Structure 1
């Protein structure tokens, strides 16, 4: 079942795909060339690709997808999967959502492109469903520094402070109060100004794009569920078994995911290129689209030619 509604985010319409009984939002643009699926990071949505989708659509068929729990997609109650009622907010869930989207909506293998936590989700999709991915491109992949298996390498205040904060936030009234403090325009702007090096990229439009879904019923429960999630795969777990080539782009000045640690990912044989982006923060696709778009376009087209020759 697919429905369409006008969108001011891109030169496209927001469409609805029903997955596991839940409405999922996506946009599509472009009529020819290889298929590309764009996946956002934590707290973001398909609108975070508004500067990329139209440009990539000049040579590709491009889709931008809202993960369940984010953007205009459904935000069901957290819990073991019950179609139409609840889901677990894990990378396994998002990976399966992406894989099913590629099969049911796109109708074949794609290039998967993502930012932040979306990078783990697209690798999970490719590892569990190798036939869907020609390649993955990752922009400032989350290193999951607060993962249970990472904590021994962290400073003492992070080793003990993060689990304590997670337990506190699971108290629903505390978690809701904390979320309501974050879900304010000025707070969102301050967070973005830390994540973005190019301050001029933090516009009122961007703040509203990220803030609007926080007003949806269920948004606070999604936030609490994910902030308490310290299990699941690490990026190196998935890169080790990734069945397709990978491209990694990294804003050199990312305050959340240090490039010095991120460079370790380039050692995996599936990583064809690791490209640092000078003077850029955590969300290169939005902060520096004039750098990112040509790199993605050229990599997708060159990789497509390699696939066609096989």
Structure 2
């Protein structure tokens, strides 16, 4: 049986879009909630939050395609295999396979972008949506300035044509990953070293590094096309949305985060900053679980 670092959870493989295997860890009972991680994490990032939510919910923590122990297909024309639309279809298929036709979704970082697209494309499946430490992708690109580009340089490094970023990361995988995690965290000792080692295990796979680059290339291309089409059609989020962000992170410092989500939402939007950096679920797990539990019960 596959392993997971989340206490009390069981890991297995489910089937995403086009047969891509998606690693999931499940636990608890009650109304279903899907947890989606960001870059460079895996589902293990929810290690402390997931068991708390599992006291009242059936919790599914999944590895996004390309990440962790999920399948890592080549990006394909236009990087479409890593479009957030495709990655969202993965997770909807997985939840249906697990018997959940309708569920809440919580996404951090890249997972929040997948969750945003999922709520737009699959409103019948998504009951409510929580996003951790992101503003909408299109808004962040549209409002890019020197400070943002300096703080989030990987948004512009990883999108360079293959194989340049892949080759550069391969030459310094551990220093790159550790520097990235240090930049994300606003709390000493976070991530814990055992989590760093888990992320490093996965990041040493060249297929994952390519997938990460394809994820970001899609975000700077086909994902923006999908976002522009939504704007032109007047499509907005209709489900209740909770936005949490780190007061000391880039998103919290550079954006009025709740206001940017209200720009793309027709449903109710709640927003709150927590005293941490980008890795809310690892820096402030109890507070995150508390806020999520109250929102999910709403």
Same fold (TM over 0.5): yes
1:207 alignment counterpart = 196
CA shift digits 1:115-170 (9 cap, x unpaired) = 012112112112111111110011112543797x626x5349959x9998567x42
1:190 alignment counterpart = 179
Q: Are positions 1:150 and 2:142 aligned together?
A: yes
2:87 alignment counterpart = 94
8 Å CA contact 2:136–2:260 kept in 1: the answer is no
8 Å CA contact 1:49–1:285 kept in 2: the answer is yes
Gaps of 5+ in 2: none
CA shift digits 1:223-263 (9 cap, x unpaired) = 33233331214599599611211011111111356453423
Q: CA deviation at 1:220?
A: 2.8
Gaps of 5+ in 1: 304-310
1:36 alignment counterpart = 33
8 Å CA contact 1:142–1:257 kept in 2: the answer is no
> Aligned residue pairs: how many?
287
Provide the TM-score with structure 2 as the length reference. 0.84
After TM superposition, list the pairs within 5 Å mapping 1:101-140 onto structure 2.
101-140=94-133
Aligned equivalents of 2:126 and 2:43: distance in 1?
20
Aligned equivalents of 2:23 and 2:76: distance in 1?
21
Partner residue of 1:248 out of 226, 243, 251: 243
2:258 alignment counterpart = 263
Provide the TM-score with structure 1 as the length reference. 0.81
2:290 alignment counterpart = 294
1:180 alignment counterpart = 170
Q: CA deviation at 1:271?
A: 3.7
8 Å CA contact 1:198–1:287 kept in 2: the answer is yes
Partner residue of 1:24 out of 22, 25, 28: 22
8 Å CA contact 1:136–1:245 kept in 2: the answer is yes
Higher-Rg structure is: 1
Question: How well do the aligned residues superpose, as a CA RMSD in angstroms?
Answer: 3.1
Q: CA deviation at 1:106?
A: 3.6
